[in-house]
Amino acid sequence: MAGADRPVVGVDPGGRECGIIVRIRSGPVFVAVISRPAADRDPVPGAGYLNDVIDTLAQAVAVAETHADPREGPWVGCEEVKPPGGYARGGQRRRPIDPAALIGMSMVYGAVLAVFPRVIVVPVGGNGSLPLRAYPRELVGGPPNERCPPAEPKGTGLLRHARSAWDVAGAVPVLAARLARSA
Instruction: Kindly state whether residue 14 falls inside one of the protein's structural domains.
Output: yes
What's the rounded mean pLDDT across residues 39-49? 91
Q: Is residue 145 pLDDT above 90, yes or no?
A: no
Instruction: Kindly state whether residue 3 falls inside one of the protein's structural domains.
Output: no
pLDDT, tens digit, for every residue of 72-104? 999 999 999 987 776 666 556 677 777 888 899
Could you give the C-alpha distances from 113 to 4, 56, 95, 146, 181, in angstroms and in order? 24, 14, 30, 38, 22
- What percent of the chain is predicted at pLDDT more than 70? 85
Q: Is residue 36 pLDDT above 80, yes or no?
A: yes
Q: Is residue 178 pLDDT above 50, yes or no?
A: yes
Instruction: Kindly state whether residue 169 falls inside one of the protein's structural domains.
Output: yes
pTM of the prediction?
Answer: 0.88
Q: Could you tell me if 1 and 18 are in contact, meaning their C-beta atoms sit under 8 angstroms apart?
A: no
Instruction: Kindly state whether residue 2 falls inside one of the protein's structural domains.
Output: no
What's the number of domains the chain is made of? 1
What's the rounded mean pLDDT across residues 123-137? 89
Instruction: Kindly state whether residue 1 falls inside one of the protein's structural domains.
Output: no
For residue 121, what is the domain's CATH number? 3.30.420
Instruction: Kindly state whether residue 78 falls inside one of the protein's structural domains.
Output: yes
Residue 106: its pLDDT value, please?
95
**Domain hosting residue 112, numbered range:** 8-182
Q: Which of 45-59, 66-80, 135-149, 160-174 has the lowest mean pLDDT?
A: 135-149
Sign of CA dihedral 63, 110, 127, 39: positive
